[in-house]
Amino acid sequence: MIDQARLPFFRLPPDADSERRAVRAFIQQQRERGNLANPTDVGMRSDPAMSRRLADRGWVGMTLPTQYGGRGKSALSRYAVTEELLSAGIPVGSHWVADRQSGPLILRYGSEAQKRRYLPPICAGESFFCIGMSEPDSGSDLASLRANAARVAGGWELTGQKIWTSRAHQAHFMIALVRTSPVAGRHEGLSQFIVDLAAPGITVRPIINMVGQHDFNEVFMDAVFVPDDDLIGTEGSGWSQVGAELAYERSGPERWLSAFVLLSQLIGELRNSASDTTKEMVGRILAHLLTLRQMSISVAGSLDRGETPTLQAAMIKDLGTRFEQDMIRLIRDIASTELVHGGSSPFRKLLQNALLWAPAFTIRGGTGEILRGIIARELGSR
């Protein structure tokens, strides 16, 4: 069992350092030009203009082949770039899903026509995607979904509802997992489609979170026509394809860098006044962070080799979620005891935002209970 969970060791490639320096120079330049404000909240903000600027530098669709507009870089080179962007709180939310998983999914399972149609706009920072997996009354039991597709002339009609669909109100397309045939096995008869969110029959309704922000949505599909050309892979192969897609989603640096700007600002607030106890607490946070980083890099390396590290990705997502929530609570405790009036006003606002956002970290990409079930199954314990 231990061997099954073992992560291979990978180092970032030599070009990662030059990419990292270029990103840092870009961020400094954007701040000096007034295009980039200091972050006031955690999580992932959206800014289509920033996505296009990043695409102009070749930092969107990095891993996609050059014939489709990408740079043909390794997942490890992309890792160095995204690590810099996330740790600085750069608003990458507009293109994030398309870059992280929709593009690679289409590259792996899509037809040549789909690759030529959808990948170049993704690489240009002009085409944004969202994830159509979660449904009402299903929780994290994805296989219980009820959205379905019925065959019609020239394609399919999709009917059903998706929920917790991040940035669907800003996306151009949704990759939806729906049932295409009523079979006995819960994981059979599922397929993935690329759905144009401007198509007739699509309704997107906002869900306002505890912070008062519009990030989540409900997406309703009422007999939405999707042509045969927009079925990804083969009919009925959706469950295995989703497993590969979730490996992209669950293992990246966003799983432990969502609130890094808060930790960075805490260290700035403390300066040289921290007590020995606080230094020990911050050191422990950093040690955990660096461990998660190496684990995450290892999964990026496995993905680069064409593997599907389902078990390892689930482990990182579960550990990363708990780390981020614990870190926010520790920072709250440190601020209340070490900082006068809890620190500066910008720091207090950032901390308040993080405390309200923290519960969502548990849900995105699968709840802890579901992830631990995946881990147990992969290890043969259930």
Single out the residue of 102, 178, 172 nearest to residue 138, CA to CA: 178
Is residue 251 pLDDT above 70, yes or no? no
Q: What pLDDT score does 1 carry?
A: 42
Burial of 326 (0-12, 13-18, 19+ CB in 10 A): middle
Most confident by average pLDDT, 106-110, 341-345, 375-379:
106-110
> Are residues 366 and 329 in contact, defined by beta-carbon separation less than 8 angstroms?
no
| Higher local confidence (pLDDT), 163 or 316 | 163
Q: Can you read off the two tokens belonging to residue 23?
A: 């990103």
For the chain, percent of residues with pLDDT exceeding 70: 93
Q: What pLDDT score does 237 carry?
A: 94
Digit-coded pLDDT (tens) for 22-53: 999 999 999 999 888 888 888 788 999 999 99
For the chain, percent of residues with pLDDT exceeding 90: 61
DSSP state of 343: S
CA dihedral 223, 228, 233, 238 (to 10 degrees): 20
Q: What Rg do the C-alpha atoms of the chain give, in angstroms?
A: 21
DSSP state of 120: H
Please give the domain boundaries of the chain with CATH numbers for all domains: 2-127 (1.10.540.10), 131-237 (2.40.110.10), 251-378 (1.20.140.10)
What is the pTM for the complete model shown?
0.88
Is residue 2 pLDDT above 50, yes or no? no
Question: What's the full length of the chain, in residues?
Answer: 382
- Show Cβ contacts of residue 99 under 8 Å, excluding neighbours closer than 6 positions: 60, 61, 62, 122
> Are residues 145 and 158 in contact, defined by beta-carbon separation less than 8 angstroms?
no
Q: What pLDDT score does 236 carry?
A: 93
Digit-coded pLDDT (tens) for 96-121: 999 999 999 999 999 999 999 999 99
CA dist 204 and 165 (Å) reads: 9
Digit-coded pLDDT (tens) for 261-315: 999 999 999 987 889 999 999 999 999 999 988 888 888 888 778 777 778 888 8
Read off the pLDDT of each residue in 87-97 and give the average, rounded to a whole number: 93
First to last CA, the chain: 13
CA dist 107 and 100 (Å) reads: 12
Q: Which residues on adjacent β-strands are paired with residue 173?
A: 129, 196
What backbone torsions phi and psi does residue 200 show, to the nearest 5 degrees?
A: -60, 140
Q: What pLDDT score does 311 carry?
A: 81
CA dist 95 and 173 (Å) reads: 11
359: confidence class by pLDDT, cuts 50, 70, 90: confident
Task: Please report, for residues 53, 98, 161, the alpha-carbon distance to residue 69 in angstroms, rounded to integers and kept in the order given.
Answer: 15, 14, 33
> Are residues 354 and 334 in contact, defined by beta-carbon separation less than 8 angstroms?
no
Digit-coded pLDDT (tens) for 173-184: 999 999 999 876
329: confidence class by pLDDT, cuts 50, 70, 90: very high
